[in-house]
Amino acid sequence: MADPLHQFKIEKIVDLPDVTLPGLGSVDLAITNSHVAMTVAFAAIVLFLTAVTSNAQVVPGRLQTVGEGVFGLIDNLTESIIGHEGRKLFPFVFTVFTLILGMNFLGLMLAFTATSQIAVTATFGVLTIGLVLIIGFAKHGLGFFKLFVPSGVPWVLLPVIILIEFASFLLRPVTLTLRLFGNMMGGHVALKVFAGFVAAAVIGKIGLLGLLVGPLSIGMVTALTALEFLVAFLQAFVFAVLTCIYLNDVVNLGHGH
């Protein structure tokens, strides 16, 4: 049976020399299968959004309805969670959502899932928390630290609460990263394992038992694929929702926190 983890392996397609970038250190510029997957997702998003918006009509066609649905989904999200200032942050949330959604969906159709790479999900997580920090300090200066001091807490509990709030804030990028990574990787491993059973049954590796295992496994693969499409959408959506919630914490710091 094929190694179910093999699909996550980074393969170099075009090898390019390493360069040293400030801040990142030595970077291997080789074009890998991860780069290709990201590029395809990026291109698909740009093509989709171009097709949706280039000839947008007041009475929308089918494609435009889908595009406006996605747009409205995130627009409502930012508007309802962050409020009036959500409009300014909409492009960021929409970029995060579409990129993750594109990579998740393409992972189910192509051979490589970029969002099952922890480097990719960590980048999204750090970007989000980085924006939270930038907005927090730009808007409130040192008042940003009020985020860790919820109002209405008895002063006796305050040291403990501050500690907990601070720890939970530090864990936000980690949970953002690991949730997406774990969901995508777990789903693809499960798919590959059951697909491996099917392959083993078909080539007769497990003998007559294959007659039982094969159909069962192929049913499992079908069901899991459907589930994975749901997970692919849901994880992108969850990431967008959490991004909105974290941004809301600093945008509306002090009122309603």
Partner 1 sequence: MADPTQSAPAVSTHGAGASPAPGATHEAAGAEHGSGGLPQFEFQHWGGQIAYLLVLFAILYVLIARVFTPRMRRVIDERASTIAGALEAARQVQAEALEQSRAAAADLAEARARSQALAFDARAKAAAEAAERSAIEEAKLAAQLAEAETRIAGMRDSAMAQIGAVANDTAMAIIEKLTGKSASAADLKAASAVRGGAA
Amino acid (one-letter) located at 157? L
171-190 mask for partner 1 (x: CB under 8 A)?
----------x---x-----
Q: Select from 257, 244, 253, 254 the least CA-distant residue to 87.
A: 244
* Given 14, 39, 164, 171, the residue binding partner 1 (CB under 8 A): 39
46-85 mask for partner 1 (x: CB under 8 A)?
x--xx-xxx-xxx-x---x--xx--x--------------
Q: Is the dihedral of CA 90, 95, 96, 97 positive or negative?
A: positive
Element containing residue 151 per DSSP (H, E): none
* Given 78, 81, 86, 92, the residue binding partner 1 (CB under 8 A): 92
Cα gap 49→138, rounded to integer Å:
31
User: Could you give the residue ranges of the DSSP H alpha helices within 86-146?
Assistant: 86-109, 118-140
With residues binned 3-state (H G I as helix, E B as strand, rest as coil), the percentages for the chain, rounded to 5, are 75, 5, 20
Q: How many residues bind partner 1 (CB under 8 A)?
A: 57
> Least CB distance from residue 149 to partner 1, whole Å?
32
Contact window for partner 1 (CB under 8 A) among 116-124, 132-140, 142-150, 237-245:
116-124
* Tokens linked to 75: 């627009």
Binding residues for partner 1, rule: CB under 8 A, are 1-6, 8-11, 21, 24-30, 32, 34-35, 38-39, 42, 45-46, 49-50, 52-54, 56-58, 60, 64, 67-68, 71, 90-92, 94-95, 98-99, 114, 116-120, 122-123, 127, 181, 185
